[in-house]
Amino acid sequence: MNWAARTRLAAALAALALLAACNSIEPPAPSPEPVSRPAAKSSREITDTSESHRLIQAFGGAFHAAALEGYLNGVLGKLASASDSPEAPYRVTLLNSPVVNAFALPSGDIYLTRGLLALADDEAEIAAVMAHEIAHVTARHAAQRAELERTASLFKRVSKQVLATPDGGGDQAERMNLSIAKFSRDQEFEADKIGIRVIARAGYDPYAASRFLAALQKWSDMRDAAAGGRSSGALDMTATHPSTLERVQVAAAEAKAFGAPGVGAVARDAYLQAIDGLAYGDDPDQGVVRGREFVHAKLGFAFTAPQGFTLENQNVALIGVGPEGDTALRLDSVPADSVASPETSLAKGWIDGVDTRQIEALRLGDFGAATGVAAGQAWSFRLGAVKVGARMVRLVFAARNLTPAVDQDFRAALNSFHRLGPDEPGKLGAHVHVAQAEPGETAQTFAGRMSVSDRPLDEFLALNGLDHGGPLVAGQLYKYSAP
């Protein structure tokens, strides 16, 4: 994505960020707290518990699959024995999110998203991801980064209060920010190298790390292509880690120290069988994106975004960006007062510093609703409020120039909001399926089974680390997504 497109996208998302916080489409069910230790908790344990809660909630809540968790904890046990801290109490928590990411806390808790599990292609690859996270723990990266950030914060306060520089030190503060960014980048490369040594000592293929990183790059490229060259802004690994292509090269070079490709265990079939049936993509209870349509099974509604919009279902809201980056939308919901009307909700003002006017009542099927307009300095807004049970669904359409034609598109999208029919919700959920390729079957054959995908062939290739035109091996297992 070029610089101009990134700038337009950032501006569009910034406009929507003006909407008041503390909301979501539908909050995930509370996750049970980890079992506490008998002894009193230290300050670090308290911090880790708090961070764990925030992280779990930010990624859709915990995802429970007992057999799969047991399998992954078995892999983690092998890695712990081969690590520099074999006595640490490592354990896996699965996150109910389709984005591809993983995290670790100093406590030894390793977090893996559903999306990451679906993308990994064998046990060695998932071991490489977990070994990378173990490396962050053993190298005390979180503590080191926190210390650097405290130093930066102290420097800024001293510059402002003692040296009387209101901008916090200007160029020096910016250099400190760059130092933090470089430090984080260096930590990722160090964790890659430590992780590769750990999986090699545990008996796994050391080249699994570079394979997974290459698959991650293909996945990211596919998502960007689906978004018309724009990055979606999802909290996946490509957003929170250094350049994937560079990491592939460094990881492959590190693996050479342990021998030529082909050394170590891969355990592909065992891994694929472990994730067969795994929930895939958006959780229907949190809403599902299907092209321009957004369907929320739990709240029982659907609507269609304007032509050309790309939608991204994030935990706190549905975000959409128009084809040129100069239009955007956001959908979330807040608890609705039992006597409050959609008109009253709009009149309270949703966007800081912007008054809502021209409020009018609507009926969207059997839903009570209201709409209005608001204008800021750089963006104008078409707002919609819809009362859905005990929630007030809020739709914010933003445009740099709210012309009558653009507003007509926004109103058409708002008017598409409707209650789900009795047969719609059950068809939404997708899962990972694993099947053996029969003689003569091709990638197109498998892609034909992926009825819930907008780009079935590209998605099948990315899920299996394949290139366009490459043959399938008869008798080999492959992943695909379907209800």
> Between helices 141-161 and 171-201, what is the axis angle to 10°?
180
More confident residue, 2 or 439: 439
Q: Which domain holds residue 368?
A: 287-425
Give the pLDDT band of residue 51 (cuts 50, 70, 90): confident
Q: What is the CA 263 to chain-centroid distance, rounded? A: 33
- For residue range 236-284, list pLDDT tens digits in order: 554 555 567 889 999 999 999 999 999 999 999 999 999 999 999 999 8
- 270 lies in the same domain as 297: no
- 361 lies in the same domain as 477: no
CATH of the domain at 397: 3.40.1000.10
Closest CA to 465 of 5, 120, 44: 120
Residue 242 lies in a domain: yes
- 272 lies in the same domain as 188: yes
- 80 lies in the same domain as 101: yes
Residue 450 lies in a domain: yes
For residue 99, the SS3 value is coil
- 127 lies in the same domain as 249: yes
- 226 lies in the same domain as 338: no
Q: Where is the domain boundary, 253, 280, 307?
A: 280
pLDDT at position 241: 54
User: Measured between alpha carbons, how far is 90 from 130 in angstroms, rounded to an integer?
Assistant: 10
Residue 22 lies in a domain: no
- 255 lies in the same domain as 380: no
More confident residue, 158 or 68: 68
Q: Let me know: does 345 contact 336? Beta carbons within 8 Å.
A: yes
CATH of the domain at 434: 3.10.350
Residue 24 lies in a domain: no
pLDDT tops 60 at residue 11:
no
- 262 lies in the same domain as 405: no
Percent of the chain residues topping a pLDDT of 70: 76
Residue 28 lies in a domain: no
pLDDT at position 193: 94
Residue 137 lies in a domain: yes
- 205 lies in the same domain as 228: yes
Residue 94 lies in a domain: yes
- 335 lies in the same domain as 221: no
In the beta sheet, which residues pair with residue 434? Answer: 479
Q: Let me know: does 465 contact 218? Beta carbons within 8 Å.
A: yes
Q: Where is the domain boundary, 261, 280, 299?
A: 280
Q: Let me know: does 322 contact 311? Beta carbons within 8 Å.
A: no
Q: Let me know: does 317 contact 331? Beta carbons within 8 Å.
A: yes
- 365 lies in the same domain as 433: no
Total residue length of the chain: 483
Cα angle at 54 between 231 and 36, to 5 degrees?
145
Could you tell me the pTM of the whole model?
0.78
Residue 388 lies in a domain: yes
Closest CA to 204 of 129, 139, 147: 129
- For residue range 367-398, list pLDDT tens digits in order: 999 999 998 888 999 999 999 999 999 999 99
β-sheet with 391-399: strand ranges across:
310-313, 318-321, 327-335, 391-399, 380-388, 367-375, 356-364
- 417 lies in the same domain as 355: yes
- For residue range 166-191, list pLDDT tens digits in order: 444 444 444 434 333 444 677 888 89
Q: Where is the domain boundary, 400, 425, 450?
A: 425
- For residue range 109-131, list pLDDT tens digits in order: 999 999 999 999 999 999 999 99
Instruction: State the total domains in the chain.
Output: 3
User: Measured between alpha carbons, how far is 126 from 275 in angstroms, rounded to an integer?
Assistant: 11
